[in-house]
Amino acid sequence: MRTFLSIMILSVFLSVGIAAQNPTRKVLYTLHANERIVSNEHFIQCHADGYRFALVTEDMTTLRNTLVFNGKRIPYGFIIDGGRSYVPAMPTNEYNWNYLGYIDVTEPDGYILHCALKSKRGDGTDKYEYWVNRGGKMDGPYEYVWFDADDDELKSKTYHYVLADRVYDNVDGKVIPSKGIFKMPYYYASVVHNENSEDRNTYISVNGVIEKFFGGYRDLYIKGNNYIVMTKYGWYFNGKKVSSGAKVNHSNVLWNDKGDYAYVHKSDFEYYIVRNGVQINEKGYKEITKLYLTEDGDMAYCYDNKIHLPGMIEDTELKCKYISSFIYCDGGRYALRYVDDNYDRYVKTDKAEYGPYDDIDDLVYGGEYYAFLYKKGDNWYVKTDKMEYGPYNKKQIVFGNSIVYDGKHCVFLYKKGDNWYVKTDKAEYGPYDGYIGDIKIAENGDCYYKVSSQQYCNGKKLENSGRKECNMDVNGHSFYFSYDYDYVVIDGQRFGKAFPFEYRYDKDKNAFVWYCLEGRDLTIYEYALD
């Protein structure tokens, strides 16, 4: 009898072991009818424990948005003040992130969002009254509200609001007068001032005071306490119009922390330089290669085969046909490329001259170091102040800002047949059959770059959430998925009913964890490893 009982107990334990699930599956949230996940169809945030999460949904019939915070539904619209309905400030298919400013699922009420009461003006146009929901507490009404948060992080508790045409900041629940210079949101002109044409005014907040500039919005540039506003019909320096947009290429507008500004404009096929509103050259130049403005308010530039440097009494003339590029560094350091009357190419710095060459490309200069491509005969070379690489033929070399050099480490590209290679001062990586870009050098000399959309470091693939697949190996176990398939593969076995839009290896649980949307079920899976 005792032996039989022992066998029975053992059978029970074996049965339990056989029935144990791996992976475990838990439904975090079930979408309502006609409801979908928005914000690029992925989580806004999910905590490491797997069960605290936040996301935004949209009712595809009513176009109303809902924040789902740790399973609690928080509509973007509210019913307050005698039953008036509050709805999103803008159409829900545009810039949904503008409504959510802060999210932290580890806090009991860790969210801040805004909504607006929609009504009609006397002329029949829409009018909005803005409110802010801070973890369930309503603040307002305001004339306009927008957040400071980075769209990818949503970490800032700061938001800006407008009352009586003045801007105020709410910083973690404390109201202070707004400081600094920043552009008002694009929609401020249309939803508050009913300006819907391409020529809507540009609005800038300067220490809480709203300034208006006529013309379609282009750009805002800020340096210290000074700013430039570019519009369709001209540009402004610290609120004062200084030139029409037709005459100025904004890439040539320069200014410093002192309040000096300078720019180049063209008139009747001749070029003129203006500094602090005063034109410095009475006679127009045929060409201006590059203009620099120093922090002292002086300028450096090349014009009509002449070099002008800060503090220079008489411009230095080059005996050349034309100057193709000019780089200036503080302290009177400069480098330029030029072609002489015999069509020979040279690189000239404040210390030395290099050449003649048959051709030059991609000049890099940092005051104490330089790098450039040059051609001799049929071959091309990469030259730096420390090394020279080559020869390469015309089909191998890559032109157009292909050299990255910081004075210590050099990176450039070259080709063999249809394949690309990354050459550094330490090693060579390749072959690659896709376009190579986004080249960066770390302080320790590590070389980062992208091949198509895949990120590499020193020839090794890096984890890339933007790619279409994942292949993860942990302790002899493999986790793989591709967006082409509605499941994941673990150790050669298929699991789940959808591809994951977030996944990780949980070290504490020694498990693969992933999240997916299976039908209307937002689901978390955990696969325990041996």
Residues 324-345 have pLDDT tens digits of 999 999 888 999 999 999 999 9
Examine the domain organization and report whether 61 and 169 are in the same domain.
yes
CA distance linking residue 354 with residue 350, whole number of Å = 12
Tell me, yes or no, whether 479 lies in a domain: yes
- DSSP secondary structure code for residue 284 in this structure: P
pLDDT for 133-175, tens place per residue? Answer: 888 888 888 999 888 655 456 777 888 999 999 999 998 889 9
pLDDT for 220-230, tens place per residue? Answer: 888 878 888 88
CA distance linking residue 314 with residue 308, whole number of Å = 8
Examine the domain organization and report whether 65 and 156 are in the same domain.
yes
Beta bridge partners of 240: 237
Across 418-433, average pLDDT: 92
Tell me, yes or no, whether 293 lies in a domain: no
**Which range (81-85, 421-425, 442-446, 514-518) has the least confidence?**
81-85
Q: Which of 120, 125, 168 lies closest to 143, judged by CA? A: 168
Beta strands, E only, 276-339? 278-279, 288-293, 299-303, 306-308, 316-317, 322-329, 333-339
- DSSP secondary structure code for residue 285 in this structure: B
Beta strands, E only, 31-142? 35-37, 45-46, 53-59, 65-69, 72-75, 79-80, 84-87, 100-103, 111-120, 126-134, 137-142
**Which range (279-293, 333-347, 458-472) has the least confidence?**
458-472
Residue linked to tokens 């411009």: 315
pTM, whole model, 2 decimals? 0.64
Token pair for residue 240? 């004062």
Range of 496's domain?
Answer: 2-29+468-528
Examine the domain organization and report whether 24 and 63 are in the same domain.
no
pLDDT greater than 90 at residue 4: no
Tell me, yes or no, whether 490 lies in a domain: yes
Q: Which of 425, 429, 433 lies closest to 449, judged by CA? A: 429
Q: Decide which of 145, 178, 211 is a domain's last residue.
A: 178
pLDDT greater than 60 at residue 440: yes
Examine the domain organization and report whether 15 and 89 are in the same domain.
no
Examine the domain organization and report whether 67 and 19 are in the same domain.
no
Examine the domain organization and report whether 85 and 9 are in the same domain.
no
Q: Decide which of 178, 208, 240 is a domain's last residue.
A: 178
pLDDT at position 432: 92
Tell me, yes or no, whether 395 lies in a domain: no
- Note the residue count of the chain: 530
Rg of the chain over all Cα atoms, to the nearest angstrom: 31
Tell me, yes or no, whether 160 lies in a domain: yes
What Å distances lie between residue 509 and 16, 43, 46, 395, 396, CA to CA?
Answer: 21, 22, 17, 53, 51
Tell me, yes or no, whether 79 lies in a domain: yes
CA distance linking residue 378 with residue 374, whole number of Å = 11
Tell me, yes or no, whether 413 lies in a domain: no
Q: Which amino acid is at 478?
A: S
Examine the domain organization and report whether 168 and 83 are in the same domain.
yes
Across 482-507, average pLDDT: 90
Cα separation of the two ends of the chain? 36
Q: Decide which of 154, 178, 202 is a domain's last residue.
A: 178
pLDDT for 7-59, tens place per residue? Answer: 333 333 333 333 347 899 999 999 998 888 876 555 667 777 778 888 888 88
pLDDT for 72-117, tens place per residue? Answer: 888 765 434 444 444 444 433 333 334 778 888 899 889 988 877 7
**Per residue, what are the HEC states of 246-258?**
CCECHHHCEECCC
- DSSP secondary structure code for residue 97 in this structure: G
**Total count of domains within the chain:** 2
Q: Which residues of 166-178 are buried (b: 16+ CB within 10 A; e: fewer)?
A: ebbbbeeeeeeeb
CB of 227 within 8 A of CB of 253?
no
Examine the domain organization and report whether 23 and 120 are in the same domain.
no
Tell me, yes or no, whether 398 lies in a domain: no
Examine the domain organization and report whether 102 and 19 are in the same domain.
no
Examine the domain organization and report whether 129 and 25 are in the same domain.
no
Examine the domain organization and report whether 17 and 71 are in the same domain.
no
Q: What angle do CA 526, 42, 488 make, to 5 degrees?
A: 40
Examine the domain organization and report whether 124 and 24 are in the same domain.
no
